[in-house]
């Protein structure tokens, strides 16, 4: 009997994530879509993955280049930042 591997796509650390499109925005999950809908419902202006923070600038250590460490929150507004996280799993 020949066993075939199941095709995998995307980030396997996050389970049951279903990307979708809403208001011509490509969201990575239904949770992000729901959050966006709630922000719109309460008339809060928001940007989806527009604001990027550099936590640590790139540098060299022992002659090797170390990349910058950045943070890209899911939503940002005039007075808030939101990062959507689903249920915890073993990963």
In a domain, 45, yes or no: yes
pLDDT at 89: 75
Q: What is the pLDDT along the chain (91 residues), one digit of tens a residue?
A: 666 665 555 555 666 788 999 999 999 999 999 999 999 999 999 999 999 999 999 999 999 999 999 999 999 999 999 999 887 777 6
What is the pTM assigned to this prediction?
A: 0.73
Residue 39 lies in a domain: yes
Structural domain total, the chain: 1
| pLDDT score at 6 | 59
| Spatial contact of 83 and 73, defined as CB atoms under 8 Å apart | yes
Domain housing 28: 20-82
pLDDT reported for residue 13: 62
Say which residue the tokens 């990575």 belong to: 28
Among candidates 89, 74, 81, 76, which has minimal Cα distance to 29?
A: 74
Q: Positive or negative, the Cα torsion across 29, 30, 35, 40?
A: positive
């Amino acid at each position: 009997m020949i066993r075939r591997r199941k095709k995998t796509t995307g980030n396997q650390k996050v389970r049951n994530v279903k990307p979708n499109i809403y208001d011509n925005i490509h969201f990575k999950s239904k949770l992000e879509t729901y959050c966006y809908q709630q922000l719109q419902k309460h008339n809060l202006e928001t940007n989806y993955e527009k604001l990027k923070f550099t936590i640590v600038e790139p540098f060299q250590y022992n002659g090797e280049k170390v990349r910058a460490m950045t943070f890209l929150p899911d939503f940002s507004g005039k007075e808030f930042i939101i990062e959507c996280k689903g249920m915890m799993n073993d990963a």
